[in-house]
Amino acid sequence: MKLFLISFFILSAVMAADHAIHPTREVAVIVTKEGYYPKTISVFEGEKVRFYITSTLEEPHCMIVESHKIFLAASKGKVTEAEAVFNKAGEFAFYCPSSKNDGKVVVLKKQLPKREVASEKKPDGMVWMPKEY
């Protein structure tokens, strides 16, 4: 029992650390006769993306993201899923060779906000003051 509890706490800590390092974004994709919906998916650098895909069409389709080794079958009435971490900013194509559908995952560079400290002096020598004064 003691070994089980220790293992449980270690596994919980590892899972929490992974979620803190790679926050998860869930994205649903539907294959229609017009193509993928949505056709463009935007995520931030370092996010883990969980894709869910289904289809409104009778014939089978798929979604392939070669750069992240994802292949998902899209069938009417069924949902398939896969995960990938997008660590690099840029555009990554997804497509289905049988239907000629295509789309892209746009990975945006994560930018930290620039913060000013009230006690820091501005370049002109003035101290920061609230706008009301």
- Taking only the tens place, the pLDDT of each residue in 50-77 is 999 999 999 889 999 998 999 999 999 8
Q: Residue 55: inside a domain, yes or no?
A: yes
* pLDDT value at residue 4: 38
Does residue 119 sit within a domain? Answer: no
∠ CA 100-102-104 to the nearest 5 degrees?
165
In a domain, 74, yes or no: yes
Asked if residue 126 is part of any domain, the answer here is no
- Per-residue CA distances from 94 to 1, 31, 89 (Å): 47, 12, 16
Domain count, the chain: 1
Q: Is residue 62 part of a domain?
A: yes
CATH (domain of 65): 2.60.40.420
